[in-house]
Each structure stands twice: as structure tokens, then as C-alpha cells.
């Protein structure tokens, strides 16, 4: 959709080379593009996990949720698919979610289940976490989340995401 002109095999090969050469790469991903299905989005998130399993030293940016930029081909596609786009500069200044930095998943008409995507992104975030927490409770809690995240990806089981709900309701305010 965005004409990268590379395949998943190219990217996997790069991850393997990074491991072999002891050089860490940064891989950037986008999801929730116009017309992208939930299963395609989850496939992208799982692929990010695969790259980190190949070389845990690599970095993943995202997957970031699609941002429609005026004048781009995907902007026009998003508009045709029913995305309610801002019409003034002031509206553009307030359209992005302050926490996530992009249109809310709920505002993208082609995203049918934003909750499941957020949960997968949550687990990927904690699996790929490389910054060491400074606060004691984070030092204790983050490795547990990393363990659960890795286990969920290994088992491909994301049902009953109790860690996500605990984080969302109790801990998110302190992060």
C-alpha cells in the first residue's frame, strides 16, 4: 500500500544479518492503513515480534497508526473510505490523540476492533522494552510484563488480557 518495494523475507534477512554482524537495526512499521484488515494489522504486529526474536538487540518503531497527510494517495483513499478529516488548520492541530500521537483508532472507519489492536501493541511494547525503568515498582513490574508479553506471543494467545486491564486501569496514570 505504501510502495516500500520490499518483502517480508527481505526484512527477515536484514534482521538475520544484523544478528550475524552484531549490528542493531531499527525497523519502522505502520498499521491501520486505509483498507487494511484487522488480521493484516495483527500480522504486522506479530512480524515485529518475529524480528525481535531473531535479534533482540534490534529496535522496533511502532507499529505506528496511519496518519493521513493531505496530498498523499492514502489521504485521498482514507477520505473516500469515510474518514472524517479536519477542514481547518485549527482542527488539524487538535485531531491527533495526545497520548498516542495519531488519529484515534476509533476514528478510522476501516478499523473494526480497536481494543484488540491496542492490546497487541501493548504486549509488543513491553516485549521490545529496552529502556531500564528508574522507579522501583517499574523495575519489578516491567520484567513481569515482558515475560507475559513474550509468553503470549509464543503461544499466540491473547485472550483474557488481564495485564493490559491492570495496566490500563491502575498503573497508566503513573507512567
Tens digit of pLDDT for each residue in 92-144?
777 665 545 566 788 888 888 888 888 888 888 888 877 777 788 778 888 88
Note the pTM of the prediction, 2 decimals.
0.81
Beta-bridge partner residues of 138: none
Q: How far is CA 153 from the centre of its chain?
A: 14
Q: What angle do CA 71, 7, 129 make, to 5 degrees?
A: 85
User: For residue 82, which of 68, 95, 72, 96 has the smallest C-alpha distance?
Assistant: 68
Cis before 92? omega within 30: no
Span 37-91, pLDDT tens digits:
888 989 999 999 999 999 999 999 888 888 877 888 888 888 899 888 778 878 7
Cα–Cα distance, 31 to 26 (Å, whole number): 17
Amino acid at each position: 500500500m505504501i510502495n516500500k518495494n520490499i518483502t517480508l523475507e527481505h526484512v527477515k534477512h536484514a534482521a538475520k544479518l544484523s544478528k550475524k554482524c552484531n549490528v542493531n537495526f531499527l525497523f519502522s512499521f505502520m498499521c491501520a492503513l486505509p483498507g487494511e484488515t484487522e488480521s493484516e494489522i495483527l500480522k504486522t504486529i506479530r512480524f515485529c515480534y518475529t524480528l525481535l526474536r531473531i535479534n533482540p538487540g534490534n529496535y522496533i518503531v511502532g507499529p505506528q497508526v496511519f496518519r493521513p497527510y493531505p496530498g498523499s494517495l492514502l489521504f485521498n483513499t482514507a477520505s473516500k473510505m469515510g474518514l472524517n478529516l479536519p477542514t481547518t488548520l485549527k482542527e488539524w492541530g487538535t485531531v491527533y490523540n495526545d497520548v498516542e500521537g495519531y488519529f484515534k483508532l476509533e476514528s478510522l472507519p476501516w478499523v473494526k476492533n480497536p481494543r484488540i489492536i491496542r492490546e497487541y501493541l501493548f504486549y509488543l511494547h513491553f516485549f521490545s522494552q529496552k529502556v531500564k525503568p528508574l522507579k522501583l515498582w517499574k523495575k519489578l513490574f516491567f520484567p513481569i510484563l515482558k515475560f507475559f508479553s513474550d509468553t503470549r506471543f509464543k503461544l499466540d494467545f491473547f485472550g483474557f488480557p488481564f495485564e493490559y486491564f491492570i495496566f490500563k486501569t491502575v498503573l497508566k496514570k503513573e507512567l
